[in-house]
Chain A
Amino acid sequence: MVAAPPAPKKPVSKPAHHEPSAVTPATPTAEGVISVRGLDFHYGTKQALFDVNLEIPARKVTALIGPSGCGKSTLLRCFNRINDRIAGAHISKGQVVIKGKNIYDDDVDTTQLRRQVGMVFQKYNPFPKSIYENVVYALRIAGVKKKPVLDEACEHALKVAALWDETKDRLKANAFGLSGGQMQRLCIARAVAVRPDVLLMDEPCSALDPIATLKVEELITQLTKEFTVVIVTHNMQQARRVADLTAFMFMGQLIEFADTTTIFGAPQQKKTEEYIRGIFS
């Protein structure tokens, strides 16, 4: 896949009913950890992202919101190239630059990329192994064999995920004995165990009950101490609670990107305002 020159052209194949978005998305910081530059993305012949430009700052929680099918998950899944798994999915234009490198360049090793860009999925998905093995999985994959290193990493990750107190006595127990919220936090611990720079979260609370959701949200705000967090959510209240910055997407386009307070308080775009007021769900 060859990166297109970063000249941000207007997307040609834009849907007709779209009002021409003359928006240059507000960029809170000049250069983010993740910079998306003019990204077009396709599933086979169906285009899912249109000319997305976005700078995600370090050590902040950035939320992607928008109605279902707007492309927010697709965009998130571009950041660690997990979309590569889907046959026919590809970018046709643009770049995603992380740590100064376009990750769609040919010489990028996806396994190295994914070690540094962790991901937490919508539905908690621990492996059918013990809690300990789940957490150290990525380390073992990376070839770490020394027990003390693994032990320490496990403890640290579980502490980061605020799960240490609940699980320290039963690290060898099967992960499926945990509650839903605990499993999701275990997945977070598993993702942070290799200490990635970026943590992607794809609607991490959608399968959880309200109390577990609160706990995970609390955890997310804590995570910014160490990580850059990008979270996709369909729950505006959640975005408001956890995110420092919020990007609103609609029909595969980035409509508006600004501080959360701005987005929810004084959105610049009509679409954003309509969405936040609940015109479309």
Chain B
Amino acid sequence: MHAPVDPSPGGAAPHPFAKPKTHRETYEFLIRQVLRAGTYSVLLAVGLIFAHIIIKGVPVVFTTKAPFINTNFLTKLPETLHVIEDKQGKIYETSPQGSDVIKKELGGNMRSEKTISYSGGGILGPIVGTALLVLVCMVVALFLGIASAIYLSEYASHGKFIEGVRLAILNLAGVPSVVFGLFGLGIFVLSAPVLTDTPHERSLFSIPLGFTYMSFQGWDTCVLSGAFTLAFVILPVIITASEECLRAVPQGFRETSLALGATRWQTIWRTVLPFAMPGILTSSILGIARAAGETAPIMFTAALAFKDKLPWQGDSGFFGIFTQSVQALPYHIYTIAARIPQSEYSERAQYGSVFVFLVLVLMFAITSVLLRRKLRAKYQW
């Protein structure tokens, strides 16, 4: 009895398990290399993109002289860049105020003046705006997300309704962010409740509270609207991930704790959350990194193309910070990359902003990875 495929026709093989003489090995090696090439080419593409942004962005943000950081770029507000050329071919790049001075100085010696919107100054306004949006978004999303996940996994009874809710949340995770933008516009900007003495005529309805009205007229485009919209973009992801982490805690922990006489809440607080927290935090921070990078949801709810003041430079007090529109880094990049005519001068602002933005967002991602590692080491079962 021998195998139908004899490995050694002609008795050339010295033993029954010798390698048959085929090209199979080469072929397999090739396939393996093709797969490997596919994998590494993705990494290569991303690496090239990063390298390009770093090469073009670093000279904008850093300088060769002390303090090595282009402080103007990071601490000034965006402004129009004026490029003035005199008749000797000398070129001055300056701010709107500076341009008046130079023009006066040059007098008849001025040959041409170009203005490039938003490309001068720095990007402090967009950085602050994004920070505010992310901050509020984080508070809202973590609070609602973790609380909802705890309810769904620890308190809710298992039934058709809760399953339906889970399914809905899962589906919402796939809804395009621009649709969330529409939703934020409809709900937060145009019909969220505010307390006001004089309800707007677009108000859906207003409830008299005696001293004032609660009017469903929306918050207008402002930090709050934008941040809430962003929070709801990532909420489905945070809820799903958090619930998964909560469920991953072995059921035995809860039973043991309850059996030892702990209340429901003690059980959750002392035996469930500590073990679920690393996962919850990791996924949440990744979610927030995503929120920080989103543009579409804040386009109609919070972002402004140009603003010459920082949020706290108004006269509307602390809450005023949150009830006004701001510049945001992603929207700023969109504006200077696509909505103004391109020139060599606008490129500088573009790469600088992109570089700073990328660094900020990736910092979130790296934090989440490091945090996970640290917390994993602490809580292990």
Seen from chain A, the residues whose Cβ lies within 8 Å of a Cβ on chain B are 98-101, 103, 107-109, 112-113, 115-116, 139, 142-144, 149, 153, 194-197, 226-227
Partner of A112, one of B1, B2, B4, B19: B19
Smallest CB-CB A-B distances: 8 pairs: A101-B15, A109-B19, A142-B5, A108-B17, A113-B17, A112-B17, A99-B16, A112-B7
For B19, give the chain A residue with the smallest CB separation: A109
Bound-complex Cα distance A99 to B17 (A):
9
0/1 string, B18-41, CB within 8 A of A gives 1:
111000000000000000000000
- For A144, list chain B residues within 8 Å (CB): 4-5
Bound-complex Cα distance A39 to B51 (A):
55
B1 and A195 within 8 A (CB):
yes
For B16, give the chain A residue with the smallest CB separation: A99
Interface residue? B377 (CB, 8 A) = no
A116 and B17 within 8 A (CB):
yes
Q: How far is the CB of A268 from chain B (nearest CB, A)?
A: 34
For B25, give the chain A residue with the smallest CB separation: A109
Interface residue? B42 (CB, 8 A) = no
Bound-complex Cα distance A199 to B163 (A):
49
Bound-complex Cα distance A237 to B64 (A):
84
B18 and A195 within 8 A (CB):
no
Residue of B2, B5, B18 ringed by the most chain A CB atoms within 10 A: B5
Bound-complex Cα distance A149 to B5 (A):
12
Partner of B17, one of A101, A149, A195: A101
- For A101, list chain B residues within 8 Å (CB): 15-17
Known: A109-B17, A109-B19. 7 other contacts (CB 8 A): A99-B17, A109-B7, A112-B7, A115-B3, A139-B4, A226-B1, A227-B1
Q: How many residues of B contact A (CB 8 A)?
A: 12
Bound-complex Cα distance A116 to B16 (A):
9
Q: How far is the CB of B125 from chain A (nearest CB, A)?
A: 55
Seen from chain B, the residues whose Cβ lies within 8 Å of a Cβ on chain A are 1-5, 7, 15-20
Bound-complex Cα distance A108 to B18 (A):
5
Given A109-B20, A112-B20, A143:B5 Cβ within 8 A: yes
Q: How far is the CB of A27 from chain B (nearest CB, A)?
A: 22
Bound-complex Cα distance A39 to B2 (A):
27
Bound-complex Cα distance A139 to B2 (A):
13
Of the A-B pairs whose beta carbons lie under 8 Å apart in the complex, a sample of 16, sorted by A's number, is A99-B17, A107-B15, A107-B19, A108-B15, A109-B17, A109-B20, A112-B18, A115-B3, A116-B3, A116-B16, A139-B4, A139-B5, A143-B5, A195-B1, A195-B2, A195-B3
Q: How far is the CB of B197 from chain A (nearest CB, A)?
A: 69
B17 and A100 within 8 A (CB):
no
For A226, give the chain B residue with the smallest CB separation: B1
Residue of B7, B15, B18 ringed by the most chain A CB atoms within 10 A: B15
- For B17, list chain A residues within 8 Å (CB): 98-99, 101, 103, 108-109, 112-113, 116
Q: How far is the CB of B18 from chain A (nearest CB, A)?
A: 6
A197 and B7 within 8 A (CB):
no
Bound-complex Cα distance A125 to B5 (A):
24
- For B19, list chain A residues within 8 Å (CB): 107, 109, 112
Bound-complex Cα distance A98 to B18 (A):
13
Q: How far is the CB of B240 from chain A (nearest CB, A)?
A: 28
Partner of A197, one of B1, B4, B5, B20: B1
Q: How far is the CB of B1 from chain A (nearest CB, A)?
A: 6
- For B1, list chain A residues within 8 Å (CB): 195, 197, 226-227
- For B18, list chain A residues within 8 Å (CB): 107-109, 112
